Amino acid sequence: MSTATTSERIGFIGVGLMGHGMAKNIVEKGYPLTVMAHRNRAPVEDLLRRGASEASSPAEIAAASTVVFICVTGSPEVEAIVRGPNGLKQGLKPGSVVVDCSTADPVSSMAIAAELAEMGVDFVDAPLSRTPKEAWEGALDTMVGASDEVFARLKPVLDTWAGRVIHIGGPGDGHRMKLLNNFIAMGYAALYSEALTLAQKVGITPERFDSVIRGGRMDCGFYQTFMRWTLEQDRDAHKFTLRNAFKDMRYLESMADAVGLANPMGNAVKNSYALAVAAGGADDYVPMLSTAVARANGVTLTPKKG
């Protein structure tokens, strides 16, 4: 364990799949840490054993912290944490910083930023890329929306859990860039799913399809992760739910609407996830979109060996 040379006291709300590993790295690298439980106490108990303290509400976290991280599902949850009964606004002090690591609607984020600014509190968006494995290893990617001054203040803390810290712009730009990043990723998944289904319909198995794409110009890391479900039935290859993918594509649509952009590709991607969620697949993971698209078209993608 290293000792952080800082006076920052860190609060962390949302110690789930990603947040647990992030918080573990913060406390193990010497920062005083306060956390709170939601439904699952196991991550909190683990963090307490590592030296963290526990609070019972966002307001209590805010009162104990100079920097508060939020890592939850999306904007409705963030808004409740900030504005709700015993929310962060009840305990934040001037000079504090709130860092939202969720994938959120930038319109909501900017409204929260304006409210907190009136209190003398800075709002930073630092959404994440990569997986819980990298969160545990301290090797996540984060795209940060913050002023230069606040970014410089936060950088040592972000470095505890991120291998790539990219200052993308001012407040809100992190969430905007994250939605663009997820649009590309979720778009790939929708494209692969439809291509695999069409291939099967015309008699080309997933293995034969993969033998052409893998190692060629159309190959990429995301493709390889995605195909681990279709080829190997590895359910945990990419633990990001269809429900969350659908949510992110709705946020992308909101961002496009706010600037009057026609986004037919974005809407097509969003509808792929809408159909899969409506068919009962909300808690399936993104690579399993291929199964949902195939099922809707009356085929199965179970690979045939030999």
Active site residue ranges:
178
- The DSSP 8-state label assigned to residue 68 in this structure reads E
Asked if 291 contacts 241 with a C-beta cutoff of 8 angstroms, the reply is no
Residues 6+ away with beta carbon under 8 Å from 249: 182, 183, 186, 266, 269, 270, 273
CA distances from 121 to 142, 149, 273 (A): 21, 13, 37
**Cα–Cα distance for residue pair 116/175, rounded to 1 Å:** 17
**Cα–Cα distance for residue pair 270/202, rounded to 1 Å:** 26
Give me the sign of the Cα torsion angle 256, 261, 267, 269: negative
Asked if 69 contacts 101 with a C-beta cutoff of 8 angstroms, the reply is yes
H/E stretch holding 275 reads helix 264-276
Structure tokens at 299: 């085929």
What is the separation of C-alpha 59 from the centre of its chain, rounded to a whole number of angstroms? 24
Q: Which residue, chain included where needed, has tokens 């890329």?
A: 129
